Structure 1
Amino acid sequence: MRRNGKFLPLLGATGLLLGAALTGCSDSGGGSGPGSDSESASPKKSASESASASPSGSASASGSAPASVRNGLKALDTGEKDVQGGTAFDLERDDDGSHQWDLKVATEDGKQFDLRISEDGGKVTQKREDTTPDDDVSKLKGAEVTAQKAVHIASGRHKGEDLASLEIDQDAQGTLIWQVNTVKGDGGGDGASADADDAAENETLIDARTGKVTGQKADD
């Protein structure tokens, strides 16, 4: 009886431990079922949320822009990287058949470099220092909006149009502006501006300090 008396409590305790273990397994198993489903569903939801909330919208908008716009933006970046401490202030797409870019870049000490950049915007093909810098070089000191930002603003206003040119200037009221010209081409960037004389051109004026569009003009 003593032996039974010793082991009965132990058996009882063991039973309780086994019961608790089984209950724990059952809870964890049941929880893991729905938990797994929710966990597998959760990443899908967050991926979807992040896709809609992330800058992919702007990235996709940029990706859907005409090749001339994407290449022009790249040409601006390429020129500024090539000229140490340089700031792009004048860009024009050449319509001689090569569709290369003519770009002017100014340095902080007032020097000007004239560059010719490949059609895709990725390579400087010619470069020279201009010994008689344009008056526009001094205007850059008051600009808060970059040339790249001005292109984004103008192309957003005129979706699907090709980038023709950009320059910093002053309007009739003396406001410092970016003047961006776009044309209705084929959007492909290859020969899109070949008939630019016959294409409808839109001129967008953007305040170089605030980024606000101050004027638009269409030339048919």
Structure 2
Amino acid sequence: MRSHTPVLVPAGLVLLGALLTGCDEGPPPQQAQIPTAPPKLTTGTRSAPGSPAPGSPSPTAGSGAQEAVRALRTATGEVPNSRAFDLEHETRGGDRVWEVKVFADGRETKVDVSEDGSRVLAKSDHDRPDDDVRKLDAAQVDAARAAEIAGQRENGRLTELEIDTLHDGTVVWEIHFVRPDGSRSEVNVDARTGEITRDR
């Protein structure tokens, strides 16, 4: 009789332990009971389609000007030490692209940029630059910043930008928009001060 007692006591403890912890072979109870936190949502680290990438145009550029601003910066980034002086929204082979003209080291380069403004599609150099490049000497505000300023004022979609001289000799960025109702508008930004000189 005494020889059976040591066997029954441990068996009872094993049974009691099994009842308290469960009989499956899952994770230990302390691991199974830890709640899983939902994934944290972050803002401002990834851009939604069509929104500016980090380091691109500021949100204050206006939604209709952001792709144009990004295209201007992409084009000038492609050609070292260049300054953009002309931009047009064009159709090439059925695709919408930005044609950006930049000037550096006495040479004009035409850079085609994707519609979202993020990729260079093609570029070509021209030995004889456009006469407009001389107007860049008076510009303290670059084309991308002028587009941002105009985009803050106008809620349309930016379609064209060029540097121009007014009758009084003021050098301006002439910036064209198409409004949601289809009407067209023009904003002139003083290339020296960044002030809007005309809005119509």
User: Per the shorter chain, which TM-score range?
Assistant: 0.5 to 0.7
Partner of 2:189: 206
Where 2:117 maps in the other structure, the secondary structure is coil
Count of residues in Structure 1 that have an aligned counterpart in Structure 2 = 143
The answer (yes or no) to whether the contact 2:72–2:100 under 8 Å persists in 1 is: yes
Does 2:100 match 1:117?
no
Partner of 1:126: 122
The answer (yes or no) to whether the contact 2:60–2:148 under 8 Å persists in 1 is: no
* TM-score normalized with structure 2 length: 0.66
Distance change >3 Å, CA 117–CA 170, structure 1 → 2: same
Percent of pairs with identical residues: 36
- Out of 83, 87, 102, which is 1:91 matched to? 87
Q: Superposition pairs for residues 25-40 of structure 1, below 5 Å?
A: none
The answer (yes or no) to whether the contact 1:74–1:122 under 8 Å persists in 2 is: yes
Provide the rounded CA distance (Å) in 2 between the counterparts of 1:157 and 1:165.
16
- Out of 96, 100, 120, which is 2:97 matched to? 100
Q: CA-to-partner distance for each residue in 1:90-117, whole Å, 9 max, x for gaps?
A: 011114652210000001x321001111
Alpha-carbon distance, 1:216 to partner: 2.3
Alpha-carbon distance, 1:61 to partner: 3.8
The answer (yes or no) to whether the contact 1:110–1:138 under 8 Å persists in 2 is: no
Of Structure 1 and Structure 2, the greater helix share is in 1
Structure 2: give runs of 5+ residues left out of the alignment: 1-56
Partner of 2:72: 76
Q: Which amino acid letter does the alignment assign opposite residue 152 of structure 1? A: E
Does 2:170 match 1:170?
no
* TM-score normalized with structure 1 length: 0.61
Where 1:94 maps in the other structure, the secondary structure is strand
Q: CA RMSD in A?
A: 1.9
Provide the rounded CA distance (Å) in 2 between the counterparts of 1:98 and 1:70.
19
Of Structure 1 and Structure 2, the greater strand share is in 2
Alpha-carbon distance, 1:145 to partner: 0.6
